[in-house]
Amino acid sequence: MNHIQGSLLYEGKAKRVFACENPNRVLIEFKNDATAFNAKKRSEIEGKGRLNCKISSALFELLESNGIPTHFLELHSETLMFAEKINVIPLEVVIRNIATGSLCRETPINEGTILTPPLLEFYYKDDKLGDPILTERRLKLLDLISPSQKEEVENITKRSNTILKEYFDSLDLLLVDFKLEFGLNSLGKLVIADEISPDNCRFWDKTNSDPKGRILDKDRFRQDLGGVIDAYEEILKRIEKDLSHAS
Ligand code: TMP
The pLDDT of residue 4: 66
The pLDDT of residue 135: 98
The pLDDT of residue 1: 42
Domain identity same for 80 and 93: no
In a domain, 91, yes or no: yes
Going by C-alpha positions, the residue among 81, 15, 33 that lies closest to residue 218 is: 33
How many domains does the chain contain in total? 2
Determine phi and psi for 43, rounding to 5 degrees: -160, 170
Is 203 buried (19+), middle (13-18) or exposed (0-12) by CB count in 10 A?
Answer: buried
Domain identity same for 171 and 54: no
The pLDDT of residue 165: 98
The pLDDT of residue 29: 98
Count Cβ atoms below 10 Å from residue 66 Cβ, excluding itself.
Answer: 13
Domain identity same for 157 and 188: yes
Domain identity same for 28 and 75: yes
pLDDT per residue as tens, the chain (247 positions): 445 679 999 999 999 999 999 999 999 999 999 999 988 999 999 999 999 999 999 999 999 999 999 999 999 999 999 999 999 999 999 999 999 999 999 999 999 999 999 999 999 999 999 999 999 999 999 999 999 999 999 999 999 999 999 999 999 999 999 999 999 999 999 999 999 999 999 999 999 999 999 999 999 999 999 999 999 999 999 999 999 988 7
- Give the ranges where 76-227 is alpha helix by DSSP (H): 101-106, 136-142, 147-170, 219-222
| Of the residues 51, 84, 117, the one at which a domain ends | 84
Question: What number of CA atoms fall less than 13 Å from residue 112's CA on the CB side?
Answer: 7
In CATH, what number is assigned to the domain containing residue 200? 3.30.470.20
Pocket test of ligand 1: the residue of 179, 204, 223 to mutate, having most ligand atoms within 8 Å of its CB, is 179
Contact present, 221 and 202 (Cβ < 8 Å): no
Count Cβ atoms below 10 Å from residue 2 Cβ, excluding itself.
Answer: 10
Q: Where are the beta strands (DSSP E) in the chain?
A: 8-11, 15-19, 25-30, 33-36, 41-44, 72-77, 80-84, 87-98, 114-124, 173-184, 190-193, 201-205
Contact present, 174 and 206 (Cβ < 8 Å): yes
Domain identity same for 75 and 101: no
Residues lining ligand 1, Cβ inside 6 A: 94, 101-103, 131, 177-179, 200-202
User: Is 70 in a helix, a strand, or coil?
Assistant: strand
What is the DSSP code string of 36-54?
ETTTTEEEE-TTHHHHHHH
User: Nearest residue CA, atom 13 of ligand 1?
Assistant: 200
In a domain, 181, yes or no: yes
Domain identity same for 61 and 140: no
Domain that holds residue 135: 87-227
- Measured from the Cα of 176, ligand 1's closest atom is 10
Contact present, 62 and 163 (Cβ < 8 Å): yes
DSSP label at residue 127: G
Expressed in angstroms and rounded, the spacing between residue 123 Cα and the centre of ligand 1 is: 10
